[in-house]
Structures are given as structure tokens and as C-alpha cells.
Chains A and B, each alone.
Chain A
Amino acid sequence: MDENKKVSLTKRDVNKVIARWYITTEMSLNFERMQSIAYTYALIPALKKLYPNKEDMIPVLQRHMELFNTNATAGGLILGTTLAMEEEIANNPESMPGQAVVAVKTGLMGPVAAFGDSFSAGTLTTLAILASCSLAQEGSIAGFFLLLLGTMITLFELIFTTKLTYQKGRSAIKDIMSSKLMNDVIEGANILGMGMMGALSASMVTLSIALSANFGESVLSVQDKIDAIMPGILSLSVLMIYYYLISKKHVSVAKLVIATLVFGILTAAIGLF
């Protein structure tokens, strides 16, 4: 193709797309197509550069209006790839059909969401939140600032992943997602994540049995007996029961919260907990 006609996005264009995506991802969130309006809106600065003629832009706008939903910040992996692909199509329409972009987007949104929700939102942000909580509970304003810092982790994640995948081009995401290294990184992150869920449960989940029995002068506390088997075994059991109900029985979380509330009040009524 004619090299003179090649348009490419500037750093500024990419930054504009990132900023739009970060700020507006969930504003127009809806049940029918989730984040699709935000995605289309975020791409506009790039599309304006790639298609000076508005008529040419219409099919691109329309294909990005299709259902899209992922973790907003790990979603940079998809955002950068999309930018790279759209740039390639704009320069050479024969290179691939427009549907290829949609295929890549829908193919990646699940795995990327699972990675982002569990690792960045689930583990990193939760750790920052918990550290801020303990500071705040002592009445320290440092908790407020630590939380601000923790929030910024995900913003850096978005900027980093978008720039990385845009610069490496459309093949990069395939290489990254299918590479052994990525698999190993995900496996490692999963091990860390699963371990941390146990560690966090140990410090956050509190449940102890209030029942006790009187034998003459000595009071036998049921909780002490249970702790002698294994400290905190109740909290761990609760975690495992929830996990079983969510993963195997597909019980919705709202139902679990309601059930927990009812269970708490009933058991408190009979003096069990």
C-alpha cells in the first residue's frame, strides 16, 4: 500500500481514548449490551483521526456497539489491541474484515475480565482497601490517602496494558494470551489470589459460638473446644460453604446475603452465635 497515506495514532490520541474509557466505562452500563456505548464513545478520538470522512466511520461505530463487558482496567489489553487493529484496517481495508475486531473483542472479554476481577480488583485493590480500613478504624486520615493510592493501581494497569498492546500490534494479544509465559503468570496470580482469599478470610471473617455449658465450677466454652481442634475452623468452613454454593449450586450473591442475614438473626435468637 501507499506509505504516504498511512495514518497512525499519536500518543495523544491513545491517551484521549484511555481517559474516555477510564472515566465513562460504567456510566452507561446497561443490561442489554453492558459497556458498548462507553466503548464506542471512547474510540471516537482515534476514529476521527483514522477516518477523516465521517461516512467511512459509520460501520466502525456500529460494530463497536455490539455487546461488550469486561474488567475496565485489565480491559486495556483489549482496548490497545482494538486500536492497533482499527488502525491497520483504516490503512489497508483488505488486511482483515471488520468483524475480526469484534471477534477478538468478544473472545477476549471473558478471560480478561476473569483475570482483572480476580487479580487487580479482587486481590490488589482488596488488599489496599483492607489496609486503609485498619488505619481508618484507628481514626487515622492516612487510611484515606492509602485508599487513594490503592485506587490508582488500577489506573496504571489500564494505561500500561493499553499502551503495551497498542504498540505491539494486533498479534501481540494472541501471543500474550497464548504464550507459556502468560499462562505461567496467570497460574502464579491465581495461586496468590486463592491463598490471599484464605489469608483475608482469617483476618476479616468473625464467627464464634456463644454457647457454653456449666459443669459445677468450671465453664466449658464450646468455642474454646472448637479452637482446640483448629483455630478459626468455623470461619474457614463458612468460606468453603459459600464457595460451594456459588460455584456448584450457582446461588446468587443477593440470596446469600439475605440468607446470611436471616441465619444470623435466627441463630442469635437461640443464642448459638
Chain B
Amino acid sequence: MGGTQLLIMAIAMGLMYWIARGMIGGYFAFFFIASPIVVGVVAGLIYGDLTNGLILGGGIAAAFAGIIAPGGNLPTDSALAATTVIPIALSTGLSVEQAIAFAVPMGLVGSFVTNLRKMVNVIFVHRADECAAKGDLKGIRNCAIIFPPIVELPLLFLPVFLVVMFGQDAMLAFMNNVPDWVMHGMEVAGGVMPAIGFALIMNMIGKPRLIPYTIIGFIMVKALALNNLTAGLLLGCVAFLVVLAKQERNKEGA
């Protein structure tokens, strides 16, 4: 990939990351534009290989599934991983496993960038306070939707643009020099990582007494080989029956 195509790719990836993590468009940006699948589709279309874009995007998205942002803290950022790794993987012919391996450390860099953004935005809270005190509605609007994206443009767009534009050779050189066990180690980490996301959600539910249901769910899929949808339906029925039983017990008690 070179010349105009590379330039278009770098601009597109930079813009996607800016929209995704500037969260321009709320959860639509956060879930959809930020998803490695959508990044894969866009990068695939630009590169002229939609199928490979989808395959790479799907693989990276799966590794980061379950990682949500409780309280707005993004622990590791699949969007930065996708926007930087997918274009390079397409043009250098990385396998999905290799792409995931690179995506894991990139995700960490991303969480740093998104925290930086929240620090910068503190400026606008104080500005918005002043506007509120004066009843300046336009000022509040500017602090809500105009200033943050403008300030974030260099913060979010530029790093991705530069990595995609100039990272290809560095990535190739790295690939040729890094020992196999480091690559394999990053793949191992990528395989385990979804568990962090799931543990995070369990922690948010905050009811350790419900852990037996986690084990039941695990056994249903692993040992009984049910697919996730079937397991979900079964678990939904279990949840319903348990709550129903509790209600009836309460009625008898009353």
C-alpha cells in the first residue's frame, strides 16, 4: 500500500478514531464506529479486500469483547488497536492471530490516550460554569459539543494517522526480528484477555453469592457444548423461575 491509497487510509483511520473515542455521536460512536468490525469494513474497502478486513476486525473485536467502560474508564482500547493494526495487517499480510497479538499492547496505549482526553476536558467544565452563571446557552453548547472535539483532534486523530502512515515498515521490521516466543506470548495474552472484561462485569453486578450461576453458565457451554444463545435462553428461564419461587415464598411468609 502506498501513495494516495495510504494517505486515504491514514486519514480515514484517524477520523474514525477521533469519532470513536471523542465519542461524537454517543453510544453509536462508542459501540459501532469504535468496533474493530466496522474499522475492518472501512479499512477493507479502502484497501480493496473487504473479506480480509472483516476477518481481521472480527478477530480483534472478539479478543476485546466484554471490555466495557464502567464509569467511563476504558481499561483497554479496542478502537486504537483496530485503527492502527488492521490497515498494517492488511498490507503486510498478518494472520488474525498475529494481528490480535499486536492489538493487545496497542489497546493499552489507547487507554492512556482516552484518559488524557478526560484531563483536557476539565478546562471546559470551568468555562461551562461561567456560562451557566451568565445564562449563556451558546457558551454551554460550545463547551459540550464544539470545543472538546476540536481540542481532541490532534490528541486522537494525529497518533493514528502517523502510525498508519509511517508504521508499516517499522511493523515489518519488528515482525522479522521479534522472537517467536514473544509473539506466542502476546497471543496467549490475547486469548485470556476477554476474561478480564467478564470479571469486570461480574464485579459491577456485585453479588458474589450468584457465582454458582457463572459456573453453571460455563459448564453449559464448555461441557454440554450449547451455543451462547441457547445457554442464554436457559439461563433466562432459570432466572425467571428463581425469582418466581422467591416471590411465592414471600407470599407464603406474609
Q: Which residues of A contact B (CB under 8 A)?
A: 21-38, 40-41, 44, 48, 54-55, 57-58, 61-62, 65, 69, 72-73, 113-114, 117-118, 121-123, 125-127, 129-141, 143-144, 147-148, 150-151, 154-155, 180, 184-185, 187-207, 230-232, 235-236, 238-239, 242-243, 245-247, 252-254, 256-258, 260-261, 263-269, 271, 273
Contact between B195 and A201 (Cβ–Cβ < 8 Å)? yes
In the complex, A271 Cα to B200 Cα: how many Å?
Answer: 29
Contact between A40 and B132 (Cβ–Cβ < 8 Å)? yes
In the complex, A242 Cα to B23 Cα: how many Å?
Answer: 28
Contact between B201 and A27 (Cβ–Cβ < 8 Å)? no
Choose the segment among B8-16, B87-95, B161-169, B179-187 that binds chain A (4+ C-beta atoms closer than 8 Å): B179-187
Known contacts A41-B144, A194-B211, A247-B203; is A200 also within 8 Å of B31 by CB?
Answer: no
Count B interface residues, CB 8 Å: 119
Contact between B194 and A132 (Cβ–Cβ < 8 Å)? no
Q: Which residues of B contact A (CB under 8 A)?
A: 22-28, 30-32, 35, 37-38, 40-41, 50-52, 54-55, 57-59, 61-62, 65-68, 70-73, 75-76, 96, 104-105, 107-108, 111, 117-122, 124-125, 128-129, 132-135, 137, 140-141, 143-145, 148-149, 181-182, 184-208, 210-211, 213-223, 226-229, 231-232, 235-236, 238-240, 242-243, 246-247, 250
Complex interface: chain A residues within 8 A of B216 (CB): 195, 198
Known contacts A40-B132, A121-B68, A205-B194; is A114 also within 8 Å of B145 by CB?
Answer: no
CB distance from A25 to the nearest CB of B (A): 5
Counting chain A CB atoms within 10 Å of each CB, which of B52, B66, B190 scores highest?
B66
The A interface is mostly helix, strand or loop, or mixed, namely helix
CB distance from B180 to the nearest CB of A (A): 9
Contact between A151 and B32 (Cβ–Cβ < 8 Å)? yes
Known contacts A199-B220, A273-B188; is A25 also within 8 Å of B182 by CB?
Answer: no
Counting chain A CB atoms within 10 Å of each CB, which of B58, B68, B75 scores highest?
B58
Known contacts A199-B220, A201-B194, A239-B198; is A188 also within 8 Å of B75 by CB?
Answer: no
CB distance from A43 to the nearest CB of B (A): 10
Contact between B231 and A139 (Cβ–Cβ < 8 Å)? no
Known contacts A126-B68, A147-B37; is A197 also within 8 Å of B196 by CB?
Answer: no
Q: List 10 A-B contacts (CB under 8 A).
A: A30-B124, A41-B143, A62-B133, A65-B129, A133-B58, A139-B55, A197-B217, A198-B217, A199-B217, A268-B185
Known contacts A150-B31, A246-B200, A257-B193; is A32 also within 8 Å of B54 by CB?
Answer: no
In the complex, A189 Cα to B213 Cα: how many Å?
Answer: 12
Known contacts A23-B25, A40-B128, A141-B50; is A192 also within 8 Å of B239 by CB?
Answer: yes
Contact between B66 and A200 (Cβ–Cβ < 8 Å)? yes
Contact between A41 and B58 (Cβ–Cβ < 8 Å)? no
Complex interface: chain B residues within 8 A of A130 (CB): 62, 65, 228
